[in-house]
A and B are shown apart, each in its own frame.
Chain A
Amino acid sequence: QKEVEQDPGPLSVPEGAIVSLNCTYSNSAFQYFMWYRQYSRKGPELLMYTYSSGNKEDGRFTAQVDKSSKYISLFIRDSQPSDSATYLCAMTTGGSYIPTFGRGTSLIVHP
C-alpha cells in the first residue's frame, strides 16, 4: 500500500458541478496537508495548505481534513472549464522538508 493513495481519474463533470477530490493516507504522523493544481506543461501550483484536522475555505475551494479517518478532500464549487487540470494532494510530518505526494487526479470540466 502506498503512503498516499489518490485515484488518477479522469473525473469528467459538467460546468457548474460541485467537484470532490480525495486522498487517503496511511501515516498517522502527517500533520500538514496541501493541494496543488497542475495545468498541462506547467509546474504544480499551491492551492490550499492546512494544518491538522478541520476545514479551510478559499473562494470556490474548500479543503477538508479528517485525521481520524486518514482522509482529505478538496471541494470545488461552481466548477469552470478553467479548473480542468490535475490536482495533487501532498502531506508532511512535523519534521520533514519533503512532502509525500499523491499521483494526482485529472479533472475535466466540460462546458
Chain B
Amino acid sequence: DTAVSQTPKYLVTQMGNDKSIKCEQNLGHDTMYWYKQDSKKFLKIMFSYNNKELIINETVPNRFSPKSPDKAHLNLHINSLELGDSAVYFCASSDDNNQPQHFGDGTRLSIL
C-alpha cells in the first residue's frame, strides 16, 4: 500500500508547455513538500504546505505553483516549461515539525 504516490512517473514534453504533477499521501500527515533533485543528486526544497496552508516557498520561479486541495494532496503546476526545469521532482510528507519525511518515487521531467 503506497504511502506517498506521485503521478506521472515520467513526463517528457516540449519547452513552453504547461504541465502538472500530482501527489497524494495516505499516512495522515499534516505537512507535504515538493523537492527538486538535480543531476548532481542535491535535494532542494521548493514548497511546503501544512494543513493546506503554504508555509515555505523557497526561491522558485513563479512559473511553479503548488496547490493543496486537502491535506492529503499537494499538486505542482508548472507553466512555460524551460530546459532548466528538467530534473526529478519528489513529493514528501511528514507528521509534524522535526519528524522525518517520507518520499514518493519521483517524477522524471524531461524538457525537449
Contact A43 B56 (CB under 8 A): no
Contact B90 A43 (CB under 8 A): yes
A93 nearest in chain B by CB position: B98
A95 nearest in chain B by CB position: B97
Interface residue range, chain A: 20 to 34
Residues in A neighbouring B50, C-beta threshold 8 A: 97
Residues in A neighbouring B4, C-beta threshold 8 A: 43
Interface residue range, chain B: 20 to 34
**Mind listing 7 A-B residue pairs with CB under 8 Å?**
A36-B103, A42-B106, A43-B104, A94-B98, A97-B31, A97-B48, A97-B50
Q: Does A103 contact B (CB under 8 A)?
A: yes
Interface residues, chain A, CB within 8 Å of chain B?
A: 8, 32, 34, 36, 41-46, 49, 86, 88, 92, 94-99, 101, 103-104
Pick from B43, B97, B102: contact of A96, CB under 8 Å: B97
Nearest CB on B from A24, distance (A):
16
What is the bound-complex CA distance between A41 and B43, given in angstroms? 14
A99 nearest in chain B by CB position: B101
Pick from B41, B55, B103: contact of A104, CB under 8 Å: B41
Residues in A neighbouring B55, C-beta threshold 8 A: 97
Interface residues, chain B, CB within 8 Å of chain A?
A: 4, 31, 33, 40-43, 45, 48, 50, 55-56, 90, 92, 94, 97-98, 100-106, 108
User: Sorted from nearest, which 9 A-B pairs have the closest CB atoms?
Assistant: A43-B103, A101-B43, A43-B105, A46-B100, A44-B103, A104-B41, A49-B100, A98-B45, A43-B104
A92 nearest in chain B by CB position: B98
Residues in B neighbouring A97, C-beta threshold 8 A: 31, 33, 48, 50, 55-56, 94, 97-98
Nearest CB on A from B60, distance (A):
14
Whether A88 touches B43, Cβ cut-off 8 Å, given contacts A43-B106, A97-B48, A98-B48, is yes
